[in-house]
């Protein structure tokens, strides 16, 4: 069995996430306290009690999701003796890439929390609320070619690109609101269903360049070392372990496409991965992995029981 740890992105947040881990394991409580201390914020209290509207804010959701992922990783290592170095690779969806790097020891937990807080704020600052939009194109006919054709129609009136290639039947477009509206019309003509997403900014498109510039400055000052397991990067769908290349790709990721379908396909076909373990909140990535690679095993690690069963299965 060849294992890859995968780490979820924005949208997987939920009030109450991580609470059962904190109640069961001191290692999880330590992670949540470290993140609170790094941010000077009672983030775990927000995760535990809400309100959901505050937790969903990008600047809170990003470090909160990372904190849950790192709590899972630390509990696995401290309580069950399963370190990230048991994996052949790590990968994360958008902000999950930071979680993957932190879990693999490439960036400290405190630095990761601060970088994600800034990333959320910078993304929000980049485009005024209401000027950008994202939409999910879904259905059996939906693939990258269809999404690119829809985005090209939108691009006639403004910025519009494919933002997330999640899996066959699930591709996300992003850009200026009028352009995304036009792309939605085109996608429907081409046989896809189109669902506008409830997001505060148009992520992973050229409108995010001001945020990329802010992150370039912040990442230039951050300490990054080689991860304990190679990271399969969002923007290349290929492994990377050299710190300067990781730094460059994290900047590119702000405006670039999340090549998730290609990443999972590479992990299975070239990386030899037969099992995915989703460390963190929810099970969105496990579902995507099963759709991309039906023969691979995909296990969401949410609860203490999930972690115990996973550790015993290795």
- Tokens 């409580």: give the residue: 29
Query: β-strands 3-7, 275-279: how paired?
Result: parallel
Q: Element (H or E) spanning 239, and its range?
A: strand 239-240
- Residue 216 CA to residue 171 CA, distance in Å, equals 27
- Residue 151 CA to residue 155 CA, distance in Å, equals 6
Query: Hey, what are 170's tokens?
Result: 């699930």
- Tokens 């969903």: give the residue: 56
Q: At what angle do helices 26-39 and 109-126 cross, to 10 degrees?
A: 50
Which listed residue (174, 204, 263, 281) is catalytic?
204
**Residue 94 falls in the annotated catalytic set:** yes
Which listed residue (12, 69, 94, 99) is catalytic?
94
b/e burial code for range 215-251 (CB count within 10 A of at least 16 → b): beebbeebebeebbbbbbbbbbbbbbbebeebbbbbb
Please answer whether residues 288 and 91 qualify as being in contact, where contact means their C-beta atoms are separated by less than 8 angstroms: no
The set of residues, in sequence order, having a beta carbon less than 8 Å from that of 293 and lying 6+ positions away, is: 264, 265, 267, 268
Query: Hey, what are 178's tokens?
Result: 């009028």
- Tokens 């498109």: give the residue: 205
CA 170 to chain CA centroid, nearest Å:
15
**Residue 241 falls in the annotated catalytic set:** no
Active site residues: 94, 204
């Amino acid at each position: 069995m060849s294992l890859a740890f995968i780490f979820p992105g924005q949208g997987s947040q939920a009030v109450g996430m991580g609470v059962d881990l904190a109640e069961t394991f001191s290692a999880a409580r330590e992670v949540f306290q470290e993140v609170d201390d790094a941010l000077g914020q009672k983030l775990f209290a927000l995760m535990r009690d809400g309100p959901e509207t505050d937790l969903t804010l990008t600047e809170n959701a990003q470090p909160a999701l990372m904190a849950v992922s790192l709590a899972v990783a630390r509990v696995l290592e401290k309580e069950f003796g399963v370190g990230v170095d048991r994996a052949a690779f790590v990968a994360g969806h958008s902000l999950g890439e930071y979680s993957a790097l932190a879990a693999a020891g490439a960036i400290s937990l405190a630095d990761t929390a601060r970088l994600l807080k800034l990333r959320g704020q910078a993304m929000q600052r980049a485009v005024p609320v209401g000027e950008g939009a994202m939409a999910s194109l879904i259905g059996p006919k939906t693939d990258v070619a269809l999404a690119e054709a829809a985005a090209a129609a939108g691009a006639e009136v403004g910025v519009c690109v494919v933002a997330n290639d999640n899996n066959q039947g699930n591709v996300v477009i992003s850009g200026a609101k009028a352009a995304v509206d036009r792309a939605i019309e085109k996608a429907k003509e081409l046989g896809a269903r189109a669902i506008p997403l409830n997001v505060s900014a148009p992520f992973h498109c050229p409108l995010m360049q001001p945020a990329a510039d802010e992150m370039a400055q912040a990442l230039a000052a951050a300490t990054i070392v080689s991860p304990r397991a190679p990271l399969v990067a969002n923007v290349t769908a290929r492994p990377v372990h050299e710190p300067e290349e990781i730094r460059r790709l994290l900047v590119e990721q702000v405006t670039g496409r999340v090549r998730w379908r290609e990443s999972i396909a590479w992990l299975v076909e070239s990386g030899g991965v037969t099992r995915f373990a989703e460390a963190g909140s929810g099970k969105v990535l496990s579902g995507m992995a099963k759709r991309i690679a039906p023969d691979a095993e995909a296990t969401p690690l949410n609860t203490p029981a999930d972690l115990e069963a996973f550790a015993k299965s290795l």
